[in-house]
Amino acid sequence: MVTQDHAHFKDADLIVMMKSGRIAEQHTYQTFKNTYHDVQSIVSDHPKNEELLSPHKAEGHQPENSHISRDTTQKVSPKIYLKYLTMLGIVPAVLIVILNVAIPVCDILSTFWLAKWSLINHQLATTEDHQYLVGYALFILGLIILLVSNSTAITIRGISVAKQTHNKLLHNTVHQQMSFFENRTSGQIMNRFSNDLDVVDSKISLHLRDFLTNLTSVIAILLLFCFDTSFYIVIVLAVIVITYCRLLFYHLKTSRHLKRMEARSKAPIILHFNESREGRSTIRAFRRADQFLSEFINVLDRHQHYSYLYLASSRWLGIRLEIIGAIIIYFVAMLAVHNQDTIGVSNVGVCISYALRLIPLLNALIRMTALLEENATSLERIDHYLKEPNEYSVVQRDGNPSPPDWPSQGTIEFDNFGMEYGEQNVALKDITLRINSQEKIGITGRTGAGKTSLISALFRLYPSNTKGTITIDGININHIPLRKLRRSLTIIPQSPLLFSGTIRENLDPCMEQSDDASLWQALDRCNLKHLVASLPNQLDTPIDERGSNLSVGQKQLLCLVRGILRSSKIVILDEATSTMDAETEKIIQRVFFSAFRDCTVLMITHRKNTLQQVDRVLCMRQGMVVKFDRPNSFDDRDLMDL
């Protein structure tokens, strides 16, 4: 057990003290107690109850899949297609339609030109061969130009739509409320940016192109039969169209469901992979690799189950289309030959030729219609995310503009404020209090008391689930632009957060410091100047992902330096020293109280010695304020209850 909590030492057979990556001392509990009478000077009083990152999850709230309730066999809304066409642009969409109409027209005209040429040859009119050859070549050249133009137009506009969709999805997702991320797994979110965006990037535009090409070709051939063949063939073709449409609609009921379930079943795969990758050291330490491998195979099998059934349904459709097509070709050919005196010998060849072409085109049209509908479910899933109200759209009420130097004092007032994470999950109840400028406030309470919820309210993390008001320097925070509000507050979290990059980029991520002097000064105040100066690249030394090449104490001190450089009037410390050793904790507290002496400070902590140093202590329980008074008004029994 790795711990700073001395309460567990008495249950240990051996206590090992570490320093600079080496074993410094080893004791039994009795010899440790005899050697160090003041245990607090060696180890920190780690709280037994820690505020969870998401308070409402501690109370039994489970993430829910907001999509499961949707009928998976339901048709894709026409609005989804309309939005896609709107993003294509009106002018490009009209141009694409014109090109797709011109392609089969040019193709049919070239065929009739060839039929007329063959008739002239039959009558030995060879002197006009050159004229017909040039005409046929022009038809083919025009057809090639139309095909290339159509593919180019759809591809270019498809790429543009994919970029727009990605940018909108990214913008709306990163600006979502916290409840959005708490009710969805990382696998579900990543599935939108991987599988669904891949469909928009590489499949939708191609399927749309093939659908339009096949649709216009089928319509052109049907019109040709209507005007150039007997009435009986027209009846047969009408029966063909009705049969194909019924088969398509019957198939789509199943394929839509399977496609949606296949897309959803990818989310657990992504989630399991990410969790296994991040926790690989723990998995190996506890020798649970086989268990996680078995779980991964299970979620993969579930996905393959839907994937296989989806492919099987496609083959089911394909076999029936081929059988129906063969029967249709037989009857069309028989009717055309039977009525050759009526429609002409040359036109009989044209009819049979186009009958042979019609069936593959109909088959392709049905398949493209099914694929377009099935892949449109990805557009539908992305659109669901785009319609989610983000934190910028939820709360931005009209109010007087804040002064440029807001907040200048740092006075905070809660007036009958309440917040909830759901209808039956109240986090804060009727909070009314005032925190004066430059006052240092200690916030304490058991797990689920509402400490982190109170801080979340200041940052407007749950704007749609609040009542009452919070004012800073007399201005309602709901009237402050969200970006300005959050830039005006500084928080030093319990788990230090560093990014891949240099020390300089981590200390000043927004590049607000004009020179390095302020960086070195802040590092010196936190006893890090000597450490950074000893590094080969100093401020340009790279930091690994999540600061894995630094100790926890060093990462927390760097976060403290970053907080000092921001020069905010309101600073929040969320149990930032709960995992620190006694020496590092003393450094952080000394620097904290000196560097932020002119700031309003809110400090979430369970440490008795820390609570004795603040101006007032805010004691919370079940989302309500139990006591808000000077530290000397709390006796030991009150603090023990926390």
Q: Are residues 433 and 383 in the same domain?
A: no
The answer to whether residue 134 is domain-embedded is yes
Question: Which domain covers residue 435, as residue numbers?
Answer: 412-640
Query: What's the confidence (pLDDT) of residue 636?
Result: 62
Q: Are residues 322 and 420 in the same domain?
A: no
Q: Are residues 322 and 435 in the same domain?
A: no
The predicted-structure confidence for 561-604, as pLDDT tens digits, reads as follows 888 888 888 999 887 666 666 666 777 777 777 888 888 989 88
The predicted-structure confidence for 66-112, as pLDDT tens digits, reads as follows 444 445 557 788 888 888 888 888 888 889 889 988 888 888 888 77
Query: What's the confidence (pLDDT) of residue 7?
Result: 65
Q: Is the predicted pLDDT of residue 281 greater than 70, yes or no? A: yes
Query: What's the confidence (pLDDT) of residue 301?
Result: 92
Q: Are residues 496 and 626 in the same domain?
A: yes
Query: What's the confidence (pLDDT) of residue 120?
Result: 66
Q: Are residues 82 and 18 in the same domain?
A: no
Q: What are phi and psi of 73, to 5 degrees?
A: -95, 0
Q: Are residues 173 and 54 in the same domain?
A: no
Query: What's the confidence (pLDDT) of residue 71?
Result: 52
The answer to whether residue 400 is domain-embedded is no
Q: What are phi and psi of 433, to 5 degrees?
A: -165, 165
> Which residue, chain included where needed, has tokens 């690249």?
537
CB atoms within 10 A of CB 584: 19
Query: What's the confidence (pLDDT) of residue 168?
Result: 92
HSE, side-chain direction, 13 A CA sphere, residue 397: 9
Q: Which of 390, 424, 449 is the last residue of a domain?
A: 390
The answer to whether residue 69 is domain-embedded is no
Query: What's the confidence (pLDDT) of residue 398?
Result: 46
> What tokens were used for 95?
């141009």
The predicted-structure confidence for 392-406, as pLDDT tens digits, reads as follows 765 555 455 677 788
CATH at 605: 3.40.50.300
The answer to whether residue 379 is domain-embedded is yes
Distance CA 279, CA 262 (A): 27
The answer to whether residue 65 is domain-embedded is no
> What tokens were used for 155?
């591809």
Tell me the CA distances in angstroms from 390 to 169, 180, 182, 415, 423, one per residue in order.
11, 9, 14, 25, 20
Q: What is the mean pLDDT of residues 151-161?
A: 89
The answer to whether residue 229 is domain-embedded is yes
Residue 481: asked if its preceding bond is cis (omega within 30°), the reply is: no
Q: Are residues 453 and 589 in the same domain?
A: yes
Total domains in the chain come to 3
Tell me the CA distances in angstroms from 245 to 257, 318, 362, 523, one per residue in order.
19, 14, 10, 73
Distance CA 122, CA 125 (A): 8
The answer to whether residue 331 is domain-embedded is yes
Q: Are residues 29 and 101 in the same domain?
A: no
The answer to whether residue 300 is domain-embedded is yes
> What tokens were used for 524?
């010196």
Q: Are 558 and 499 in contact (CB under 8 A)?
A: no
Q: Are residues 144 and 88 in the same domain?
A: yes
Q: Which residue has the higher pLDDT, 366 or 546?
A: 366
Percent of the chain topping pLDDT 90? 6
Q: Is the predicted pLDDT of residue 56 greater than 60, yes or no? A: no
> Which residue, chain included where needed, has tokens 């649970």?
288
Q: Are residues 33 and 86 in the same domain?
A: no
Q: Please give the DSSP secondary-structure letter assigned to residue 401.
A: P
Q: Is the predicted pLDDT of residue 621 greater than 70, yes or no? A: yes
Q: Are residues 367 and 460 in the same domain?
A: no
Query: What's the confidence (pLDDT) of residue 41?
Result: 46
Mean pLDDT estimate for the chain: 79
Q: Are residues 155 and 224 in the same domain?
A: yes
CATH at 334: 1.20.1560.10
Residue 242 makes CB contacts below 8 A (sequence gap 6+) with: none
Q: Is the predicted pLDDT of residue 441 greater than 70, yes or no? A: yes
Lowest mean pLDDT among 257-261, 323-327, 448-452: 323-327
